[in-house]
Chains A and B, each alone.
Chain A
């Protein structure tokens, strides 16, 4: 048996762990360690390898090579979720894994319920009492007998934490835990993280929010392109420094430096003081003809909410929208009729009709043209579909193919195609290339630029900073629901966007 204290306070040690998916190395010989009772932040851009590292630690996937030692025990190459739980590694999931119809206590003790004597029956009284004791120990605003579907998202996260604590976890992994919480809820979460640390429990905190990383962490590990960049101790942690390390100064940086042009074309859309309570406030901007306007900001900064409201999906509480010089009250139908299109952020959930053919998918927003008197002109529909397939190079070029059977990139091309076959004037594009292979990505970029070249105005929301820098003619960065900064007619880099998204105004930091 290993002596737990013999490892000098290190709880988890990863040595030279490597992982590749179908030939692409996503983690390259990364060393990573977490001390006992520390809050350790893991940061990096999208695709830096954060979630892969977490998956290797929790046994969701197996590493190709390298060693992982947890609590003095070597973790075998054939790792598993079950083993990681037995070791004491708990994950607080972003998409929560609780059972809605059951109580707090039932969820906490799921599969480890206290039994009545020697029977197989659950001792509910004892279980509720144990849960309540746990709740009171951490002073959580919860009741053991509350049903999960009646409590808030923040409270559900607390239940997840209690579930992990009841399983005697010594490492708690939190992946963007604050993204759906209000300010007071975040403060509560921070207090809880501090009390976990006081008990000697280690917390691995993954977040894009620099101020949280700054406020919470004892150490920060920065990953970039699957490689370890740096491990910062408490004294060296500053948002500006982290951002500098995250973005790095790569050779390709020159290509990412992007000169924003002067736009002189006419105004298509004018937004003034747009507000949706709790989502965004007092947003104003202009959009010109043939311009790609990038919207940057962290997840939860109100980017998606803003474009959804502008397209007419969600209601607006205050503000004025002027479209081609006339007041415009958006509704999805009015928007489509006015030549506006919308590419939603989650392709599978919001974009495609998976069980239907390419032709049907392309046809749906165009029924006004394909069936002016209610009966679909099948020939025209087929022609639209073939045109869309050809325009976007959908593979395979089969109009009868079910869209659910296409690759992610080709699904996204179909979602684009259904709008591009129309006479479009403005299109909202939200995270167009998430989970798409590099080839399809380039093709989609070409189309966005080509659209702008044809005079179509584009509003692009993206968390992919090089994508945003490269495609946009102008960028506005949202922060906490407000326009924080606008970049125009200047040199633009990913770092500048990320700094603005993190609330750093130019010239205000120590660098």
Chain B
């Protein structure tokens, strides 16, 4: 019997939908628009960051500086607007530019000097946090103006929070770039086999530079949205979010060794984790138990995605026979 294999994203939806069904029977509050909106809202930052962080991931690298970069971007955009008095649009543009430059710098060290991405971006995570501390003078700063800036995070359009639109816009464009653009094809090729890609005319170095630059820009966007949403900025505002992003990507089927990945999957992954946490909350499970559940979900997702359990790879099921 031969069944055409489902794409990863469809398989994930097949897990997500029953999960929602179960949660809705367990708690009548689950399937209300308010609750669902809340859940999606809570994954906005993860979704925005994942849209860019997927590029280094697919090339076989990783960007761990996302959280520090996002927090720093919040501090910087506030500085431009409220200390230097720049127009909010200019302030955001400059912040994104800084994100791009820092991403480019990470990419340069990874691509040209060939230092492992893990080390480079781990260092970046630390020094960017340090720069954030210096610029914010170690304080938690409140942002109360300008109004249009605050509206980015707190406003609604057609009843839904604006950050949800930003997240979907970024995720969709990223998905389109990965699946349909020549650049996306090249990113995948570099991750799958750098030498073969090179012999087919792809320049792996410039692909890597671009990948980290994109990740820097989406981190800055995430930071701006977060600042506007929470109306406060500090150097540790998004600390640890890089791990949530990597979790979402892993659940979404982005290969831990590169060459394969999907933003849509990552988004579904993030929403899935958020739903599980939300469901646990609604069922009054103490918060201290949540990480045990999410950690287990990652392992299960990884086992399923990488085919460790399929008999073909000589995994668990074949060993049993």
Contact = CB atoms under 8 A, between A and B. Distances in A.
Contacts of A163: none
A354 interface: yes
Given A353-B189, A353-B196, A355-B260, A332 B182 contact: no
Given A349-B195, A418-B200, A375 B189 contact: no
Interface in A342-370: 342, 344, 349-356, 360, 363-365, 367-368, 370
Contact of A333 (B182, B189, B201, B255): B201
Contacts of A374: 181-183
Contact of B259 (A336, A355, A364): A355
A375 B200 contact: no
A335 to B, nearest CB: 8
A376 B196 contact: no
Interface in B185-222: 185-186, 188-189, 192-193, 195-203
B181 to A, nearest CB: 6
A99 interface: no
A352 B193 contact: yes
A356 B180 contact: no
B197 A353 contact: yes
A490 interface: no
Interface of B: 180-183, 185-186, 188-189, 192-193, 195-203, 255, 259-260
B201 A336 contact: yes
B196 A360 contact: no
Given A332-B201, A375-B180, A363 B196 contact: no
16 contacts: A332-B199, A344-B195, A349-B196, A350-B193, A350-B199, A351-B196, A351-B199, A353-B192, A353-B197, A364-B185, A370-B182, A371-B185, A374-B182, A376-B180, A376-B181, A378-B180
Contacts, number: 78
A391 interface: no
Nearest to B201: A336
Task: State which size class the interface on A falls in.
Answer: 20 to 34
Contacts of B188: 353, 356, 360
A200 B196 CA distance: 47
Count chain B CB atoms within 10 A of each CB in A332, A356, A363 and give the residue with the most: A356
B202 A364 contact: yes
Nearest to B258: A355
Contacts of A342: 199
B199 A313 contact: yes
Count chain B CB atoms within 10 A of each CB in A313, A332, A349, A364 and give the residue with the most: A364
Contacts of B196: 344, 349-353, 364
Nearest to B203: A333
Count chain A CB atoms within 10 A of each CB in B181, B193, B198 and give the residue with the most: B193
Nearest to B197: A364
Contact of B189 (A336, A364, A368, A378): A364
Nearest to A311: B199
A35 B257 CA distance: 49
Contacts of A311: 199
Contact of B185 (A313, A352, A354, A367): A367
B99 to A, nearest CB: 23
A353 B193 contact: yes
A375 B199 contact: no
Contacts of A356: 188-189, 192, 259-260
B186 A367 contact: yes
